[in-house]
Amino acid sequence: MESKNFVKFFSSKKGFIIYLSVILFLAFLSLGKSLSFHFYRDDWTQFWYAINYPQLFLSKSTVFIMHPGAAIEEFIGLKVFGMNPFLWQLWGLILRLLNSLALALIMYVMTRSKTIAYLAGILYAPSAIGIESIVGVSSHTSPMIIVFFAPGFYFWVNSSSKFLSIKRIGAFIFLFLSVWISPLRTLPLLLIIPLWEISHVWVGNSKEKLSKKSVLLKIRNLLVLTPIFLYIRNYMVMFGSPPIKTSWTDIKALLTSLGSLSLGWLIPFPESVSQSESSRILIAGGIVFLAILIFISILFTFFRIKKLRVYFLLFALMFITYFPNWLTSKYMMVGVSHRYLTLSGLGLVGVLAIFISGLRYKAQRILVLVFVAASIFNSNRILIRQNEYRSFTRTQAIINRLDKDVPLGQKDFIFLFLGGQLRAEVFDMGGVPMFAFKRGITEEKDLPIATGDIELIKNLLCKEGVKRPALNYWIIQENKVPLSHVYAWHLDDKGMLINTSGSVREDVKRQLNCDYLK
- pLDDT tens digit string along 256-298? 999 999 999 888 888 876 677 778 999 999 999 999 999 999 9
The DSSP code sequence of 248-312 is HHHHHHHHHHHHHHHHTTTS---EETTEE---HHHHHHHHHHHHHHHHHHHHHHHH--GGGHHHH
What are the tens digits of pLDDT across the range 486-504? 999 998 877 788 999 999 8
Query: Are 511 and 454 within 8 A, CB to CB?
Result: yes
Distance CA 510, CA 67 (A): 46
What are the tens digits of pLDDT across the range 181-201? 999 999 999 999 999 988 888
Query: Are 497 and 491 within 8 A, CB to CB?
Result: yes
Element (DSSP H or E) covering residue 95: helix 85-111
Q: Residue ranges per domain, the chain? A: 4-39+83-389, 392-517
The DSSP code sequence of 480-500 is PPPGGGEEEEEE-TTS-EEE-
Which stretch of 100-104, 241-245, 286-290, 330-334 has the lowest confidence by average pLDDT?
241-245
Sign of CA dihedral 478, 483, 485, 489: positive
Adjacency order of strands within the sheet including 486-491: 449-450, 414-419, 486-491, 497-499
Whether residue 110 is predicted with pLDDT greater than 60 in this model: the reply is yes
What are the tens digits of pLDDT across the range 325-368? 888 876 788 999 999 999 999 999 999 999 999 999 899 999 99
- Single-letter residue type at 154: Y
Burial class of 173 by CB neighbour count within 10 A (0 to 12, 13 to 18, 19+): middle
For residue 199, give the 3-state DSSP assignment.
helix
The DSSP letter of residue 61 is: S
